[in-house]
Chain A
Amino acid sequence: MYPEGVLPSSFRDPAGHVFRRDGVLYRSIRDSGRPHYDALMTSGLYKELIAANLLVRHEEVSLSDNAPEDSGTVIRPEEIPFISYPYEWSFSQLQDAAIATLEIEKRAILSGMTLVDASAYNIQFLRGRPVLIDTLSLRRAVEGEPWMAYRQYCQHFLAPLALMCLRDIRLGQLLRAHLDGIPLDLAAALLPLRSRRRLSLLLHIHLHARSQKRYEGSGAPVARRTISRQARLGLIDSLESGTKKLLWRALGTEWADYYDDTNYSPAGMAEKRKAVEQFVAAARPRTVWDMGGNIGTFSRIAAKAGAMTVSFDIDPACVERNYLTARAGREVDLLPLLMDLTNPSPAAGWENRERMSLLDRGPADAVLALALIHHLAIGNNVPLEMAAQFFARAGRSLLIEFIPKSDSQVKRLLVTREDIFEGYTQEGFERAFAKHFEIGRRIPIADSERTIYIMEKK
């Protein structure tokens, strides 16, 4: 969580800032932003977007003696329980965020307003659905003015979705390097030739990139032109149909069918479920991070108990399947996210403070680490003590499964490599984790040599 004061993610907006006082999140609105805010509230657009679950709800508050200088009005928005970033979203999460952005602009046009930013970072997942969190990015429209966020929409949404869908799902990770979205010339170069056969991609990516190239650095001012409201709606409609036509099916990756290919007996699986249920009931966490959550089987136990649960996995197909299940079931407390735990999201952007690292967003009240430790310790050479240190930074209570070398899944990891992991034993595991945690219950899993440990951070 960000500390007290102005949040380093909101410094670019001249109309206001987001800040924290006494643990509560506020948004200040400067005088320059006030007419736009008033228009949002009086036009009926605010109520409409709230009713459609497209905008974060807020209330006006009085903080006269405690607000930052020059803030005329202060609002208190509903806080997002876990801030996530587009490079952590699955394909459908990014697509849903894109469609939400276009829907907001469409409704804004009809209310005489416009969305001046189409940044993917302005969308967050709240109760399972994408919502706009930047209330001040809705401004009064200037008659005839083109959509100022057109380029940003194409870079933040259309280009990554097209690359993920038509080239390789892993290209979504380009967003981690390009925080203002994927440059369109890069997207155009990486997309396959067949992408030009889609009218929306031909227009909004290929010709768009060409137009940018044509006009970059030419120096002279551009003649101002106006476009009609119908053309603005037409542009949004064209972007929307192009975005919706991009489809990706989560099949054929290493982990997506994991639970069909494990060595748990039905009794062992039931025991694991029961252990998680008892752990969550005893710890009563408000926030849970399920590390290596796969398709969310165990994350759901925590979410159903009312904990805001983030289910991290390295596999885009697993995260996609998890999200689609959560979306179909209207699960409000589960957020699946893409995360490589051996290289988790770093702090990024201006002064390395604009976007938080994974650990900046913690610690969680409880962490689940089921069938994970062997991948860290053997698959990625992470010493057990360093793994213990990581989990101690990530959360307060820990449920972790130890999988010995005699287990078939570990044997599989060691098939093609030399066993240099002498310290990888149950005793070594307990010794390493005891440095950071008080080890509580040990629960052997039926029909296997695996053991679940419940621990509390020292």
Chain B
Amino acid sequence: MNRRKETMSRPTLLRFLLMGLLLGGGLLTGKAAGYIDPGTGSYVLQIAIAFLVGLAFSVKVFWKKISLFLKKTFSPKDKNGPHVP
């Protein structure tokens, strides 16, 4: 049997977790209520996802820094080879 069909890929798992968090966890169904204005729902959603997008952004920035550090450390400093006097 194809193993890929049995296991859930990471992005899919993330989506399910997110859906569960937002819809099942009650972030969109809390005590707060709105006005006759689509802006209220937008405001609530932004608050609800703020932690997630902030965390994702922090990880992304951190990963970029790490990869930049690794590139700098392991890339040859002088492309023309060692200097021979």
| Residues of chain A having any CB pair with chain B under 8 Å | 146-147, 150-151, 154, 183-184, 197, 199, 202-203, 207-208, 210-223, 225, 227-228, 230-231, 233-235, 237-238
- Residues of A near B49 (CB, < 8 A) are 203, 207, 235, 238
Asked if A210 and B28 sit within 8 Å, CB to CB, the answer is yes
Residues on B with beta carbons closer than 8 Å to the beta carbon of A183: 38
Tell whether, in the assembled complex, residue A216 and residue B41 are in contact, meaning their CB atoms are under 8 Å apart: yes
Interface residues on B, range: 35 or more
Instruction: With both chains docked as a complex, state the minimum distance between the C-beta of A148 and any C-beta of chain B, in angstroms.
Output: 8
Q: A207-B22, A230-B57 are in contact. Are A235 and B45 (CB under 8 A)?
A: no
Which residues of A have CB within 8 Å of B36? 216-217, 219
Q: Are A227 and B45 in contact (CB under 8 A)?
A: no
Main secondary structure of the interface of A (DSSP, over half): helix
Chain B 43-61, CB within 8 Å of chain A: the 1/0 string? Answer: 1111111111111111010
> A202 CA to B19 CA in the complex, in Å?
9
Q: Are A219 and B33 in contact (CB under 8 A)?
A: yes
The CA-CA distance from A184 to B40 in the complex, in Å, is 13
Q: Which of A184, A222, A234 contacts B44 (CB 8 A)?
A: A222
Kindly list chain B residues whose C-beta atoms are within 8 Å of the C-beta of A215: 32-34, 40-41, 44
Closest A residue, CB atoms, query B46: A146
Total number of A-B contacts with CB less than 8 angstroms? 125
Across the interface, do A216 and B37 meet the contact criterion of CB distance under 8 Å? yes
Q: Does B58 contact A230, Cβ atoms closer than 8 Å? A: yes
A249 to B39 Cα, complex, angstroms: 34
Please, how many angstroms separate the alpha-carbon atoms of A356 and B58 in the complex?
A: 44
Question: When A213-B41, A214-B29 are in contact, do A219 and B50 touch as well, CB less than 8 Å?
Answer: no
Cα distance A193–B28 in the bound complex, in angstroms: 22
Residues of chain B within 8 A (CB-CB) of A234 are 50, 52-58
Choose one: B19, B40, B42, B52; the contact of A150 (CB below 8 Å). Answer: B42
CB distance from A344 to the nearest CB of B (A): 31
Q: Which residue of A lies closest to B47 (CB)?
A: A225
In the complex, how many angstroms separate the beta carbon of A198 from the nearest chain B beta carbon? 9
Docked complex Cα distance between A234 and B61 (Å): 10
**Which one of A146, A202, A210, A212 lies within 8 Å of B15 (CB-CB)?**
A202
Residue in contact with A218 in the complex, picked from B33, B47, B48, B55, CB distance below 8 Å: B33
B73 → chain A closest CB, angstroms: 26
Question: Do residues A184 and B54 form an inter-chain contact, with CB atoms below 8 A?
Answer: no
Contact across chains for B54 and A228 when beta carbons are under 8 A apart: yes
